[in-house]
Amino acid sequence: MTDQAAAREPVIRIEHLSKTYTRGGQPIPVLMDINLNVDRAEFVSLMGPSGSGKSTLLNLIAGIDHPTSGRILINGVDIATLGESSLADWRAANVGFIFQFYNLMPVLTAYENVELPLLLTNLSRKQRKAHVEACLAMVGLTERMDHYPNELSGGQQQRVAIARALVTDPTLIVADEPTGDLDRATGEEVLKLMDELHRDLGKTIVMVTHDPKAASRASRMIHLEKGVLVDDPGPGAH
Amino acid sequence: MFLFKLLLKNAFRHKLRTLLTMVGLIVAISAFGLLRTIVDAWYAGVEGTSSTRLITRSAISLGYPLPVYYADRIKKIDGVTGVTWLNWFGGVYIDNRNFFARMAVDANSYFPLFPEFQISKEEQAAFMADRQGVILGRKTAQRFGWKVGDTIPLSGTIYPGNWTFNIRGIYTVKDARFDETLMLLHWSLIDESVKKRLGSLAANQVGLFMVGIKDPSKASVISQEIDTLFRNSVAETRTETEKAFQLGVVSMSKAILMAIRAVSFVVILIIMAVMANTMTMTARERLAEYATLKALGFSPGFVVKLLFGESMLIALIGGVVGIGMTFPLAKGFLLQTNNVFKVFEISQETMAFQAVAALIVGLIAAMWPAWKMSRIDIVQGLRHVA
């Protein structure tokens, strides 16, 4: 495939994806026959009521859950076929995570938290330092790099988490309710930052949110209901 | 490096909990060491025996004396290199808490049979020249602050009366297994007192004979020969090796020793359960953190290393401090028990057992949570935060 062709190929290609959980011996379908493409540098928001399957879809795209059937191709790699160890390596190289509750290590400083994913790479200490400092500068936390999470506000913690998601320069950033634990003003700052990642750095972002205002920041809004895609304007709709 | 830094920070995240767990471990490891040392002390008499010495005593029991003239007849047996005898003197120094073993020995024949006791020729000569003289073990002299030339007043128990002894020498031992607490006095002195008090018929009696032999492999044959020699006599004898004699004494307390040993292991089991509980609680609290690490791409092995490392670190610190604490604990115990144990040393073997016990506690405590956390479902773990 030529570079041009590769650039045209969607970053995420989902084909006939289904996910069924079993509770008390009863199968509970969560996602049913989902087909979805996401282009490079798209900012997609997944919306829907509780139990619609949006978080499950995000988890499957991020490679932290396994589908019951169907294919999930990320940059051409069918991650549904990868084993645990290969999937862990794949996540380390390709996915940046932003969680609702930040999920920072409380015993590590902001700097150390951002450095964490780089410890799985072959970068030298000096190279890691350069990457971490650049990312912390990007989220405006250079002055706070030696602070522990409990010494930072919620917004600052989420910015550290964004820097952590960004530091390995992943193909894909997944965000699960990134503003869910923040007040409106702080949430707006975080969304602005994510917007910059998408616009200025060309990052592909998939975000789950309940908040229509937050979802409107994305370039494409996808609605799920009862495990089915009910509204998808398609790639490049913006 | 990062792993060590993270597990170090994790270990002291809940300082009070870690501290209390460590205190528990320190108490358990030092108690384990102390209990083992007590058992060792019980067997110290056995460890400090010589294979070239036999003990001949009354066939009825230790409480029955033997005539001193037996010594001459035993000496004539082929393979015997020397014979000495002794009586338990008893006595009280001020009060019963000041206990130390006091034995009346035949000064001429005793020391050649006990080369492990080291004493200068001058002090030995001074002892021989003074019928009220005594030789003291270094530990007892140190305990009471006595030195050569001091006098020791004793109130007689087995041999009634008020006795005053002059310290003529202080012996030391080459090896910590040997008894360094004895007070040796002249057998002739107490024999004379018996003569005066009860008459000649009651005199010339000894508690037991120590028999030196040339070849340890002949111990059984010589023992039989001695006992055959006095069969059907006024006082039949029972001869055995010094080790067998000491084991016989220890076997009287076998049930107690078994109980002490069992308790020492129970203590370790208890702390193992406590620490396993701590590690399980710790792991459960950090469920979301481990899930996050796994989501970021860290392997289940990394999580296992984190938990084992943390547990081993706590065990290592607790173990080292616990071993260190055993020394003052043992000292205090010995003082409280009026120095009833002649040899009370914390052996290197005991310290090694303590270290191994601490490491096993650390390993086992982390086993279940590490296995559990390495298998956590990332999605479930991340949900734990919410």
Judged by CB atoms closer than 8 Å, whether chains meet at A65 and B6 is answered as no
Residue among B2, B288, B379 minimizing CB distance to A103: B288
Q: Which two tokens stand for residue B306?
A: 């984190």
Contacts with B6 from chain A: Cβ below 8 Å? 105, 107-108
Q: What percent of chain A has pLDDT over 90?
A: 67
Give the contacts of B192 (CB within 8 A, at least 6 positions apart): B203
C-alpha B154: how far from chain center: 27
| B134 and B265 together in one domain | no
CA distance A237 to chain B (A): 31
Judged by CB atoms closer than 8 Å, whether chains meet at A108 and B6 is answered as yes
Which domains can be identified in chain A, with CATH numbers? Answer: 38-55+81-231 (3.40.50.300)
Collect contacts of A85-88 with beta carbons under 8 A, ≥24 apart: A85/B299, A87/A63, A88/B294, A88/B297, A88/B298, A88/B299
**B326 with B34: CB under 8 angstroms?**
yes
Q: Which two tokens stand for residue B200?
A: 């000649």
Q: Is residue B242 part of a domain?
A: no
Q: Mean of the pLDDT values across residues B312-326?
A: 96
Judged by CB atoms closer than 8 Å, whether chains meet at A107 and B296 is answered as no
Q: Is residue B247 part of a domain?
A: no
Q: Is residue B154 part of a domain?
A: yes
């949006």: which residue's tokens? A54
Judged by CB atoms closer than 8 Å, whether chains meet at A92 and B297 is answered as yes
| B207 and B119 together in one domain | yes
Strand partners, B57: B238
Mean pLDDT (chain A) is 90
Q: Mean of the pLDDT values across residues B36-53?
A: 83
Q: Is residue B194 part of a domain?
A: yes
Instruction: Give yes or no for residue B241 having a pLDDT over 50.
Output: yes
Judged by CB atoms closer than 8 Å, whether chains meet at A88 and B294 is answered as yes
Q: Which of these three, B235, B262, B293, is where a domain ends?
A: B235
Q: Return the residue of A nearest to B8 by Cα.
A: A107
Tens of pLDDT, residue by residue over A181-193, are: 888 888 888 899 8
As for how many domains chain B has, the answer is 2
Q: Is residue B248 part of a domain?
A: no
Judged by CB atoms closer than 8 Å, whether chains meet at A92 and B379 is answered as no
Chain A and chain B share a number of CB contacts under 8 A equal to: 60
**B117 with B173: CB under 8 angstroms?**
yes
Residue among A65, A84, A101 minimizing CB distance to B379: A65
Q: Mean of the pLDDT values across residues B138-159?
A: 93
Q: Which of these three, B165, B200, B235, is where a domain ends?
A: B235
**Domain that includes residue B66, residue range:** 60-235
Chain B contacts in chain A segment 22-81 (CB below 8 A): 59, 62, 64-65
Q: Is residue B215 part of a domain?
A: yes
Judged by CB atoms closer than 8 Å, whether chains meet at B296 and A62 is answered as no
| B349 and B204 together in one domain | no
pLDDT of A7: 57
| B138 and B161 together in one domain | yes
Count other C-beta atoms under 10 Å from residue B216's C-beta: 13
Q: Which one of B198-202, B270-274, B380-384 scores highest in mean pLDDT? A: B270-274
Judged by CB atoms closer than 8 Å, whether chains meet at B10 and A107 is answered as yes
Question: Would you place residue A2 in the very low, low, confident or very high pLDDT band (cuts 50, 70, 90)?
Answer: low
Rounded Cα distance, B369 and B303, in Å: 10
| B231 and B264 together in one domain | no
CA distances from B374 to A67, B287, B290 (A): 21, 10, 8
Rounded Cα distance, A138 and A141, in Å: 8
Predicted-complex ipTM score:
0.91
